[in-house]
Amino acid sequence: MFEQLVEHRIEEARARGEFEHLPGAGRPIDLECDPLVPEDLRVAWRVLKNAGFVPPEVEALRHLRAVATEVEGARDDVARARAMRKLQALSLALAESRPGSRRGLAVEPRYYARIFSKLA
């Protein structure tokens, strides 16, 4: 519902012409420029990106999506339950790794490998 409201308001603004005279109108967006990365880190991040490296959070999200696909494609209840447990453990690990997360249920990193080997 929220997305529909946003889309409706954007369409209304477009109809009123509010997007016609914005700076940069008609020019492609520079996707290589990342103003949220400090200037002294941009070159290093670009080199890492071009080499195929991604932040650990991005890799964790990719792994999470792969396990979610595994859950959807499970052929039986046992496989589905195993994949669900793995998905829950990965979700917990990702949530705990985020800044400002509550660490009350934190599991030490050395135990994650043991947990995942038991789930596999």
Asked if the structure places residue 10 within a domain, the reply is no
* pLDDT score for 101: 57
User: Do the beta carbons of residue 29 and residue 35 sit within 8 Å?
Assistant: no
Asked if the structure places residue 22 within a domain, the reply is no
Residue 118: domain span: 76-98+108-120
Euclidean distance between CA atoms 25 and 23, whole angstroms: 6
The CA–CA distances, whole Å, from 72 to 30, 76, 82, 92 equal 37, 11, 12, 19
6-31 confidence digits (pLDDT tens)? 999 999 999 999 988 888 888 887 77
Euclidean distance between CA atoms 25 and 47, whole angstroms: 30
On the 0-12 / 13-18 / 19+ scale of CB atoms within 10 A, 67 is buried
Residues 6+ apart with CB under 8 A from 61: 94
Asked if the structure places residue 87 within a domain, the reply is yes
* pLDDT score for 115: 67
36-92 confidence digits (pLDDT tens)? 888 888 888 888 888 988 877 788 888 888 888 888 888 899 988 888 888 888 888
Asked if the structure places residue 90 within a domain, the reply is yes
Asked if the structure places residue 35 within a domain, the reply is no
Asked if the structure places residue 93 within a domain, the reply is yes
* pLDDT score for 12: 95
Binned at pLDDT 50, 70 and 90, residue 96 comes out as: confident
Asked if the structure places residue 92 within a domain, the reply is yes
* pLDDT score for 118: 67
pTM: 0.46
Domain count, the chain: 1
**What average pLDDT does the structure give for the chain?**
80
Asked if the structure places residue 5 within a domain, the reply is no
